[in-house]
Amino acid sequence: MKDILSEIIANKRFEVDLQKQAISIEQLQEGISESPTPRSMKQALASSASGIIAEFKRRSPSKGWIQEEACPEEIVPSYAAAGASALSILTDEKFFGGSLKDIRAARPLVEIPILRKDFIIDEYQLYQAKIVGADAVLLIAAALELEKCNELAEKAHELGLEVLLEIHSSEELAYINKGIDMVGINNRNLGTFFTDIENSFRLAGQLPQDAVLVSESGISDPEIVKRLRAAGFRGFLIGETFMKTQRPGETLQNFLQAIQ
């Protein structure tokens, strides 16, 4: 099985280098003062009865196009109106069909926190996230050396961004420290893209009791969310289940009713 994560990261390095040539990090730093006031995703999840992080994504490496013409100006407000606790917006273009413009378009339309979901490997991407109005960023343990992950988490906090750390196995527990705001368990292996929802349950007991836990990928049944909540999870990142339907906001609304 081809390691998809390695391919994505190699492309991301190339992409970020190109972006730096077009707009320097100094230029990004100058634009920071104009960015919107951040909202706390951690607090939104901790205080929410549902904890649904509704995701806007057009495609994935494993499924191909899910909704190629999806428009953030329509779907994102419908998620907020339906009762999402937070939003995840994919900004990787090559593999997920997204861009930073999707966050920029969505930000003025909703009051709930927005996560920039991407493969963050450089502080340059943190400045980008801040400028377009993201409130939190995803850091993926499998994509980063431990020291680099810590550096990026520290920089994110300096910029007023929260950090959702994504882990997949017990080997990555070492990445959790006080600089991490939320811990996400990815049920999908990023090397093979195989999904196993039980991964969240396996790792839940090994995580810090005070951590705000998020389960990611493969969640399509409201009953699973109930089980995960009972196991200590407060956030549930769901994209495909909503995005593959004609009206994602309506699908989310029905999903939330089934949880209650």
- Residues with a catalytic annotation lie at 55, 57, 117, 166, 186, 216-217
Q: Rounded to the nearest 5°, which phi and psi values hold at 153?
A: -65, -40
164 close to 214: Cβ distance less than 8 angstroms: yes
Q: Residue 70: count other Cβ atoms within 10 Å of its Cβ.
A: 19
CA distances (Å), 93 to each of 11, 16, 60, 80, in order?
A: 10, 12, 10, 24
Joined together, the tokens standing for residue 108 give 């003025």
b/e 124-152 (16+ beta carbons within 10 angstroms → b): bbbbbbbbbbbbbbbbbbbbbeeeebbeb
Amino acid in position 41: M
Closest CA to 114 of 103, 127, 128: 103
User: What totals of helices (H) and strands (E) does the chain contain, helices first?
Assistant: 11, 10
Token pair for 104: 């920029």
DSSP 140: E
